[in-house]
A and B are shown apart, each in its own frame.
Chain A
Amino acid sequence: MNSACNLKIDWASTEAAQYACKNWHYTQKMPNAGVKFGIWENKIFVGVILFGIGAANATNGKKYGLPEKNAIAELVRVAMRRDHQTPVSKCVSIAIKMLKKQSPNLRMLISFADTEQGHHGGIYQAGNWIYTGVSTSDRVFIIKGERKHAKTIHSNKWVQSEEWLKAHVDPNAKIIKTPGKHRYLMPLDAEMKERIIPFSKPYPKRVKDQAASNPDALGSETLTHTLQNLGPTK
């Protein structure tokens, strides 16, 4: 990190978050996010960290011994400029502290690293998140060339069937099965940490490192700018 870099993490507007997601994240999309943090280096806006309530199955507290939702939030997006100077994990760490003050009843955060993009979750590992394995595989709907999740299909009142979608929405509609994502948890208090430690598994390796020991394991490796720029060596 450049020691001269003047870092500021503050609340971000929806407009700023949309801009960062569109320009600096591989999906080019902004997810639902209730809390948006912006990152400024030397007064220049360089990215956002977004938190939301996440998908119901991901943030359902029962799995972790919590009575209901609203105790778990999801880190839904980190979108930063390619040339940012501060390590992502440091920005995330500061954002989490601010989030705890803003939503003090949260007990835990969850986030996912996209295995389809070759991500292993370096920012979470650098921030000592607890790795709990790969989530169950999901279905994605390809409608008019765009990937849609089941939630979108449901909210459009469409039927989650390839035949139905081909007949009513797009003759080329397809349903594809996606691999699961690496799941990471960050407890926000000591008692929660005790509760989720039993779920802990060894951190997955980077795709490159896996490939070195097993070249056949090399898959897609299109890292986001953010994930390419990990750690204090940046």
Chain B
Amino acid sequence: MEIKSKLVSELIPYASNSRTHSDAQVAQIAASIREFGWTNPILIDKDNSIIAGHGRLLAARNLGMEKVPTIVLDHLSKAQQRALVIADNKLALNAEWDFELLSSEIAWLDNENQFNLSLLGFDETELGNILLTNNFEPAHEGDQTRLDEKKPIICPECHHEFRV
């Protein structure tokens, strides 16, 4: 599969793209491209119409890029092309998180690398909740029971107290 560099001005957004991109999300994608570089080329058809990557194109424009990497998918029927516009978004949404591992990974990025967590795409509330997942705080010594002392037990019948 060949990656071709194309002028941003050449690419044509698909008019019936049902996926929307807020300004905030486009800014997140732009920040991601700035940090990680291009990791995911824009998918286009032979006429330069975008199949997947509308958000990436908007981010590239925000970053003032002239050219972007693309992959031309010229083997799809018109129906397959329109289906892929939807499936490319929806299939990714169907994945789930393992919150225990997610929490551990984000904590590692945060504690050991001081990585900018805003680049991950979670807002601050979400990050806070993820980091709290299963992360219990220490308790107090007073919550524990001494194991070297006999415990007082009161007989429910005669109310005599004895220790076991």
Binding site for B on A (CB under 8 A): 4, 6, 8, 10-16, 19, 23, 34-36, 38, 40, 42-45, 51-53, 69-71, 73, 81, 83, 99, 102-106
Measured CB to CB, the nearest residue on chain B to A105 is: B148
CA A13 to CA B146, docked complex, whole Å: 15
List A contacts of B149 (CB < 8 A). Answer: 70, 103, 105
CA A52 to CA B147, docked complex, whole Å: 7
CA A12 to CA B144, docked complex, whole Å: 9
Residue of A42, A71, A81 near B107 (CB, 8 A) is A42
Q: Report if A34-B145 is in contact (Cβ < 8 Å); known contacts: A42-B107, A42-B108, A42-B112.
A: yes
What band does the interface of chain B fall in when counting residues whose beta carbon is under 8 Å from A?
A: 20 to 34
Q: Is the CB of B148 within 8 A of A19?
A: no
Q: Is the CB of A103 within 8 A of B138?
A: no
List A contacts of B150 (CB < 8 A). Answer: 69-70
Q: Confirm or deny: B143 has a beta carbon within 8 angstroms of a beta carbon on chain A.
A: yes
- Excluding A42-B111, A102-B141, 12 further A-B contacts by CB distance (< 8 Å) are A6-B111, A11-B138, A14-B143, A19-B134, A19-B136, A34-B144, A44-B104, A44-B135, A53-B147, A103-B148, A103-B149, A104-B148
Measured CB to CB, the nearest residue on chain B to A32 is: B145
**SS class, residues of chain B in contact with chain A:** loop
Binding site for A on B (CB under 8 A): 100, 103-104, 107-108, 111-112, 134-141, 143-150, 164
Q: Report if A11-B139 is in contact (Cβ < 8 Å); known contacts: A44-B107, A51-B147, A104-B148.
A: yes
Q: How far is the CB of A79 from chain B (nearest CB, A)?
A: 13
Q: How far is the CB of A73 from chain B (nearest CB, A)?
A: 4
Measured CB to CB, the nearest residue on chain B to A54 is: B147
CA A68 to CA B146, docked complex, whole Å: 16
Measured CB to CB, the nearest residue on chain B to A2 is: B112
